[in-house]
Amino acid sequence: MAMTPGTLITVAPTGAELAKSDFPHLPTTLDELVETATSCERAGASMIHLHIRDADHRPTLDASYLKAAVQALREQTSLVIQLSTGGSVHDPLDQRLTVLDAEPDACSLTCGTTNFGDDVFLNPYGFMSDLYVQAQEREVVPEFELFDLGHVASLARLIDAHGLPFGGKVHVDFVTGVPGGMPGTPAALLAGVAMLPTEVTSWAATGIGRSHLPIVATALAAGGHLRVGMEDNVVFARGVPVEHNSQLVERAATLAELMQRPAMSTDAARAVLGVKDRRRA
């Protein structure tokens, strides 16, 4: 895998786990999402990983909410729009497949079931396989979410079974530090990177909670890309809560610049990921 000169920064602004009542700065309305997306793009993000909330700020997979968000972000930003198919741990598998109906540029595809705190994040092979094939058919680029080393092996199984994803690239994201998944340590991340199948063309990483900064630093040093955002981390520094997702993007972009791998443009990210340009469709 060639070392990419720039850094693809993904912002994951909301997630499905935190309550708006506990974290009032969490962007949950469409207006807040658009404002967040535009300031994060300005700060250096080139992709957004989206979980959508309903009028009560609760996670939803309702098609009308998803379509409205995709349309608004496509009109008002040039970010690559990646919808979560992971949803919340309570979402049924069949509903998670319907996320593709909103015609995102990209979607997450988690490569295996994992313990998720006290819950279980379910991703049986049949579901992964159906999502893989449906994403190929609909020309949506999957980002393979790897929560554990076993997920790397399952990714290889998917590629062997179905060939390359739409666009011909294979981009993965290590989600480290989830209680029940791989730890958010440099050693665990580098073990995962060493196991990646040869078809993988780019990788990113995120660290949940306090593993955030060590994983950013490790990924930058090892040629990886970054995911940051309140979905994964709401503490900017000891005793300092995150008040806006753009703070995390800005710091990641500064570190990337210092490492001589500056934040890449949205056009460059589109090329790295092999996404279809739907902006003028």
Contact positions toward Zn ion, by CB under 5 A? 84
The one among 44, 116, 256, 269 contacting ligand KMH by CB under 6 A: 116
φ, ψ for residue 46, nearest 5 deg: -120, -10
How far is 195 from 247, CA to CA, in rounded Å? 32
Q: Which is nearer to Zn ion, 18 or 268 (CB)?
A: 18
- CB 257 to Zn ion: min, Å: 26
For ligand KMH, which stretch binds (CB under 6 A), given 83-91, 148-156, 182-190, 214-222? Answer: 83-91
Instruction: Answer yes or no: are the C-beta atoms of 49 and 73 closer than 8 Å.
Output: no
CB nearer ligand KMH, residue 107 or residue 256: 107
Query: Of residues 36, 39, 46, 88, which one binds ligand KMH by CB under 6 A?
Result: 88
Identify which of 192, 198, 199 has the alpha carbon closest to the alpha carbon of residue 207: 192
Candidates 13, 27, 44, 86; binder of ligand KMH (CB under 6 A) is 86
- The residue among 110 and 176 lying less far from ligand KMH, judged by its C-beta, is 110
- To Zn ion, the closest distance from the beta carbon of 5 in angstroms equals 27
Interacting residues of 34 by C-beta distance below 8 A, sequence separation 6+: 72, 73, 76, 77
Helices (H), the chain: 30-43, 63-76, 93-97, 125-137, 149-162, 186-195, 212-222, 245-258, 266-273
Residue 177 interacting entry, from Zn ion, ligand KMH, none, C-beta within 5 to 8 Å by type: none
DSSP annotation of 17 reads S
* Beta carbon nearer to ligand KMH, 73 or 255: 73
By the rule CB under 6 A, 60 interacts with ligand KMH: no
With CB atoms as reference, the residue minimizing the distance to ligand KMH is 86
The one-letter amino acid code at 239 reads: G
Does the protein bind ligand KMH through residue 104 (CB under 6 A)?
Answer: no
List residues near ligand KMH by CB under 6 A: 15-16, 84-86, 88-89, 108, 110, 116, 121, 145
